[in-house]
Structure 1
Amino acid sequence: MIRAFLAALVLALALPATAQQSMPPAPYAYRQLDDPAQEQAAQELMETLRCLKCQSQSIADSDAPMAGDMRHQVRIRIAAGESPGDIRSWLMQRYGDYVSYKPAVSATTWPLFAIPLLLILGAGAVLLRRFRGRA
């Protein structure tokens, strides 16, 4: 009885993973736009957006299905005439600030910019004290 329950549990947990992989890729996931200028704009934007599954690759470099869906969204929105800034804002609103390699300074991201500056100032103060103490 317990074995049957565990087997059913394993199957139930594995089913969503297999279903996601069986879906066909979005049409513009691996196909470029016909207009070279639009494709260049899309490519530049895709290189600044992080794949949420891979986390260390841009969506331009990732082969993850989610990155393909994001590439598709970028390309169809560029083809529809949206600006790269509007598309970036839409993706950041949908997935959070983490999706962008170039986050904007906001209420949630200001520590990313302030902490390194404070560390540099602190290290400079320590070094200044040491060198003044020796002289």
Structure 2
Amino acid sequence: MRALVLCLMLFASPALAVQPDEMLSDPVLEARARDISRDLRCPVCQGEAIDDSNAPISRDLRLLVRERLVAGDSDAEVVDYIVARYGEFVLFKPRASGTGLILWLAGPAMLLIGGGLAYAMTRRRARPEAELTEAEKARLAELMKE
């Protein structure tokens, strides 16, 4: 019995917040709506896609996506419409233009800076130490005798 419960838990699909009354009757449009919704962030939950969120704003966004698809908009037009109303914050993958370009370039820039600093630190440590003078060698030998 435990094995059955474990298998059911492992293979259970995630519970989506999409209600049956929100779904479109056309399976192709519904699949497109799901694909779009997967990349849109809930403005309230911030870490969840609108398909996974139970927040009222997410329901409104899901309905808006479906409404735009039924009106004949392409996927890109639907996303552009949502971004125009709610800002680029609703995108899980920010666009590589405008202020989003800073986000795209910050990671590689930090990697290069970190790599440069690591290289400089290892080069500094690799330098040989200065040799002892004859007076210092004599003093060291004297101290070692004691």
- TM-score, with length taken from structure 2: 0.68
Q: 2:62 is matched by which residue type in structure 1?
A: R
Long gaps (5+) in structure 1: 1-27
Which residue is 1:102 aligned to? Answer: 93
Deviations 1:11-56 (A, max 9, x none): xxxxxxxxxxxxxxxxx88521111111111001001001111111
Which residue is 2:31 aligned to? Answer: 40
Give the total of aligned pairs: 108
Rate the CA distance shift 1:73–1:29 in 2: closer, same or farther, 3 A.
farther
Equivalent residue runs for 1:23-38 within 5 Å? 30-38=21-29
Rate the CA distance shift 1:94–1:29 in 2: closer, same or farther, 3 A.
farther
The alpha carbon displacement at 1:79 in A equals: 1.8
Could you say which structure has the larger radius of gyration?
Answer: 2
Rounded Cα–Cα distance in structure 2 between residues aligned with 1:102 and 1:56: 12
Higher relative contact order (CA 8 A, sep 6+): 1
Long gaps (5+) in structure 2: 1-18, 128-146
* Conserved? CA contact 1:48–1:101, under 8 Å: yes
- Comparing 46-55 with 106-115, greater Cα deviation is found at 106-115
Percent identity of equivalent pairs: 32
Q: 1:126 is matched by which residue type in structure 2?
A: L
- Aligned-pair Cα RMSD in Å: 1.8
Q: 2:88 is matched by which residue type in structure 1?
A: D
